[in-house]
Amino acid sequence: MELEHDVVKDLYPLYIENDLSPSVKMAVDEHLKKCDHCSKNYNSSVGFSENLKELEKPVIANKVDEKIILKVKINQLKYLTMFLASIILTILILDYKNDREKLLTKFQDYFIAADFLPDSFAPIKDNTHSNLEYLKEDIFRIFEKKIILEENLNYFEKRELNNTEYRLTLHDDSFNKMLEIMEMRYDQGLWDKTDEAVYQKTQKYFLDFSKLLGKQENKLNHGYSSYFETLDIVEMDKFYKKINLLSDSYTRFHKLPEQLHPIGKSKLKKIIARKLNVSVSDVKILKNRLSEIPFNYEFVIQDKYNGWIDGYNGQITTVNGNHGLSDGQVMTTDNAKKKAHEHLQNIYGDKISFNLVSLGFNYNYEFSNSDFKVHSFRVVPVLKGYKFYTRYNEGTIIHIDSDTGKLRMLSLDNRIGDLNEFPKTDLTIKISKEKLQNKNLTDTVIIYSELTGKFELVYMNPRLEDFEKEKFYSTKGNFKLSY
């Protein structure tokens, strides 16, 4: 290909940018070999200064196609963008790789902690219970490792975690209470088929969880392809659901989860409406939140009430009145007490009587309006003349608007058990108080015992220090009961 001097001169900008096709570049090189004048100008840029000056402006020389120069600049920008993108991508890949390697390390710590659970739980049926405290420590250690693990999850794993029911959280209060109850029942010879079933299930859950974590660990630890593996958070959370439901059903009812039948939400709405004298259509049950008490639902009645209801027995545990304040005439304590009895009868039925102890106005209750008052009462259930005792004798508190008599707040001690079962309490006395006089047992009361999952008639010493030590003795046999 033979090129004219003027063509070679016009091609100079593309030549120095190395943007000529191979065949054209070869033709320019051939011309430069033969033409000393053009070769000298190419090497010294003499005669092309105007071209270069115009490029710097950037205004292209008239004889050069503007589209070709624009293409040069676009290509330059494209190559620069690709180079920067490759650097950013490399950094992101390295960061992700380091994050997954860190996750593996934290997960291995979590796995090791969980692997101790089956062996730590075994001493429950050992009278010495030498390692029982180690199990509680293991549970706490798993919680700590879970927090660290959560910090190292990727976006998808965190999103999956947020959508789980228990967020990989074991309710250690309920679980530790289960350990204490099982230990006491075994020591006192009260071990039954329910205890054995709970023991076997717990061991199985621990073993299955350890196997699951082992599989997860293998997913994250088999070469570069494992960087693209994610933890199966949903499967891991199933363990927490099983163990939480088991410990809750055992400590609250001395039953297995499958022996309990939660009430449907539509029926719960009817129960709430009936007990609070509102329309069913006004009752809204919110989505079950993470709670220490499974099947514990929050409800809202617009402009009237909000509270919580137990999904197992339909027992309202908390009510807060949302109706407006009033500054009308304050009713007498006796009239307020009658109103309180009416509210309690609507909520808990007429098979249980209640003693109401006046606590004056606004007991542990504050308003922004200092003129507003509520009558406050401590509620003590009574069955056939026996008082019901709760831990520290706090029990249930009810607040009544001092002028309207409307229910302002009801706070039920959630450790008192299912009041629907209260009338069925066996009041048999087999052990005379005289036989237990040396223990200074002066009162006969009803408690809810987590040891048996029932209401129990017991002897007790009313001193607070004995109450805290759970020194209750069954009237049916000489064994100690606990909450």
- Does residue 5 register a pLDDT over 60? yes
CA separation for the pair 315, 256 (Å, rounded): 20
The mean per-residue pLDDT over the stretch 410-436 comes to 83
The mean pLDDT of the chain is 83
- pLDDT above 70: percentage of residues in the chain: 86
Contacts 24+ apart (CB under 8 A), 73-77: 75/19
Task: Show the tokens assigned to 248.
Answer: 């809750």
For 236, other C-beta atoms within 10 Å of its C-beta total: 22
Residue, of 47 and 383, whose pLDDT is higher: 383
Distances (CA, A) of 115 to 144, 198, 400: 15, 19, 53
Inter-CA distances, 16 with 8, 21, 50, 447, Å: 12, 13, 15, 97
Band (pLDDT 50/70/90 cuts) for residue 60 is very low
| 68-72, 202-206, 438-442: least confident range | 68-72
* Tens-place pLDDT, residues 234-263: 999 999 999 999 999 998 889 999 999 999
Yes or no: say if 475 and 432 are a contact pair by the CB < 8 Å rule: no
Map out the domains of the chain as residue ranges.
5-50, 87-259, 265-420, 425-481
How far is Cα 267 from Cα 174, in angstroms, rounded to an integer? 27
Judge whether 311 and 262 are in contact, CB under 8 Å: yes
Look up residue 466 and give its two tokens: 């004995």
What is the value of pTM for the model shown? Answer: 0.73
Q: Are 61 and 54 spatial neighbours (Cβ–Cβ below 8 Å)?
A: yes
